[in-house]
Amino acid sequence: MTPIQSTCLIIFITIILFAWNKLPVIAVACAAGLSLWAAGLVTLEQAFAGFGDRAVSFIASLFIIGAALERTGVTAWASQILIAQVGADSRVKLLFLLMVAVGGLTSVLSGSGAVAALMPVAVIAAARLGQSPAQLLMPLAFSAHAGANLLLTGAPKNFLVSEALEDAGFEPFGFAEFAFVGVPLLAGTILIVLLLGKYLLPHTSSVRLPADFSAHAQTLVEHYGLQDGLFRLRIRKNSPLVGTQVDKVEIDGSSELQVLAVQAAGSGLPVRDRGMAPGDYLLVRGKAQSVADAAARLHLAVREDTSSDVSPAFSRHSGLAEVMIPPRSGLIGQPIYPGLTTDNGDLVVLAVQRGAYEIDYTSTELKPGDAILLEGSWEALDMRLSDPDVLVVNSPDLVRIQAAPMGPGAWIAVSTLLALVAMLASDMVPPAVAGLLCACLLVASGVITVEQSYRAIHWTTVIMVGAMMPISTAMIESGTAKFVADELVSFIGSSGPLGLLTGLFILTAFLGQIMSNTATTMLVIPIAMAAAAGMQVAPKAVLITLCVAGSASFMTPIATAANMMVMGPAGYQFGDYWKLGLPLMLWSFFVTIVIIRLVWPLT
């Protein structure tokens, strides 16, 4: 069996196994690379080279940057703005805004980078609006493909075709010249998705999707009956409480008001072992009239930045958590009451329920099944609630991510993203270097920890990208790709300029379903330039065809990193892509045959 036949056989079996969907995609991808090595089509170094490729490092760094944006509440903030623009249940408007946003971002950032940045926003928005993420994430990836043709910076293939023109003695493409095809490509993609996506996309959801905690604070406050009895009071400069020791603070002689906690100004962290200072907060439980009287008497200001639907105990720095007492807990039998703090004072008890009713605090001991509402800093909640004596109802970390927009480190995360866009747009450093620099900056600044960054990376995607690269290498080195390209160009060469554009589109789009569009474009450029010269066809029209066809990576999840990135979170199967991908492929072909002819003369 010749090298070309062996390569084709392995690729065919790989595609069949992917479509069969009975084996893990990572196992199939790794088996394909090892099979190519066993057949002598690639060396052992080439079979494993993909795992050290720059693209793999870049994609991994993008996951870390996306996780930092999510953990600091930037994506929650963006999703709130998006949802406010969309309304209550407008799937069409949500899709439109998402696709326009990712298309525009892809013009200056890689498609995978744009998808990584907006995918958490899409998932949160879908959860809050009751939409299936499977209806949103594939359009997100596909609009990124179209947006890659808006500007010269949209994708590496754009640089490749521009350099090919310049090397051949022609004027290179202008920075925005790609928009002549990019705008209709993106507009048509959006229109097709809006009209057909509901019917061609699955409605399934992945078990990896997060719950919606956007109104979690209000839910807890209402559940524990605190909506009319919890207040945060700021100490003014002329308050008589200034200088009073925290453990001796009293604001009312009766039992109508209770000071639950004292929080430091700015950080919101619990205060211990010092006197009260101006700007500190008192977390108080009691009747509204009693609170108002005490505030007037002691020169205290009711917190003004608390909206009507958020608890005073909930902010960027501090939050609420609900825990249950499990059987055999070491806390069973311990006394409990509002205002009780942990040993180091970083968490405070706000309320306790037993059987959905608040317990009688005059004489009580904890029993199995009791529910406790705690307040404290997010760091303390996340760290202290790993205690085996309690069961956490909802992860404070997940709650903070969604319900505390633009939290600590948000501006560092946003600035890092802007720096990444600037480095990629200016070509200051290679993409992999830019991505790793930004990821390391986020870890070094404490925005995201090393352990969190490990968990943020979607390893299935990263391993898939690395494992599939030997297929491209084998196709090039065995001569398979060149053989297919030569035969196809020879077959349609006598059909005139339109036949040449058609053949190049089919060839490039077909190879682009199993190879990266960058590798595909590099392979087809010399063949396309030679064919254009022989048939006296304008090279710009030919090369822009390669760009459009290279972006038509709609039929398989392995076509691009963006396609693979949305596969796991949305719960897509291998065979889900071609259903929506086919009409988008036809639209890309229409743009090639009609619009390219109108903008760039063929001769």
Domains within the chain, CATH numbers bracketed: 9-208+459-599 (no CATH), 215-393 (3.30.70.1450)
Q: What is the pLDDT of residue 39?
A: 92
pTM to 2 decimal places: 0.68
Q: What is the pLDDT of residue 48?
A: 92
Q: Tell me the per-residue pLDDT of 510-567, one tens digit each, with 9 for 90 and over.
A: 888 877 677 677 778 877 887 787 778 888 998 999 999 989 989 988 788 788 888 8
Closest CA to 431 of 65, 29, 49, 104: 65
Band (pLDDT 50/70/90 cuts) for residue 45 is very high
Q: Tell me the per-residue pLDDT of 204-228, one tens digit each, with 9 for 90 and over.
A: 765 455 566 766 777 787 777 776 5
CA separation for the pair 100, 189 (Å, rounded): 10
Length of the chain (residues)? 603
Complete edge-to-edge strand list for the sheet that includes strand 371-377 = 357-358, 347-354, 371-377, 318-324, 391-392
Q: What is the 3-state secondary structure (H, E, C) of 79-136?
A: HHHHHHHHCCCCHHHHHHHHHHHHHHHHCCCCHHHHHHHHHHHHHHHHHHHCCCHHHC
Band (pLDDT 50/70/90 cuts) for residue 494 is low
Q: Tell me the per-residue pLDDT of 267-286, one tens digit each, with 9 for 90 and over.
A: 666 676 778 888 888 888 77
Q: What is the pLDDT of residue 66?
A: 77
In the chain, what are the helix, strand and coil shares in percent, each to the nearest 5?
Answer: 60, 10, 35
Cα-trace Rg, the chain: 30
Strands (E), 280-383: 281-286, 300-302, 318-324, 347-354, 357-358, 371-377
Q: What is the pLDDT of residue 305?
A: 44
Q: What is the pLDDT of residue 186?
A: 95
Q: Is the predicted pLDDT of residue 139 greater than 90, yes or no?
A: yes
Q: What is the pLDDT of residue 19?
A: 65
Q: What is the pLDDT of residue 172?
A: 84
Strands (E), 287-422: 300-302, 318-324, 347-354, 357-358, 371-377, 391-392
Q: Tell me the per-residue pLDDT of 395-409, one tens digit each, with 9 for 90 and over.
A: 787 777 666 667 778
Q: What is the pLDDT of residue 309?
A: 43
CA separation for the pair 545, 539 (Å, rounded): 10
Q: What is the pLDDT of residue 138?
A: 93
Q: What is the pLDDT of residue 203?
A: 79
Q: Is the predicted pLDDT of residue 426 greater than 50, yes or no?
A: yes
Closest CA to 241 of 181, 295, 175: 295
* Range from 424-433, 458-467, 506-515, 585-594 that averages highest in pLDDT: 585-594
- Average per-residue pLDDT in the chain? 82
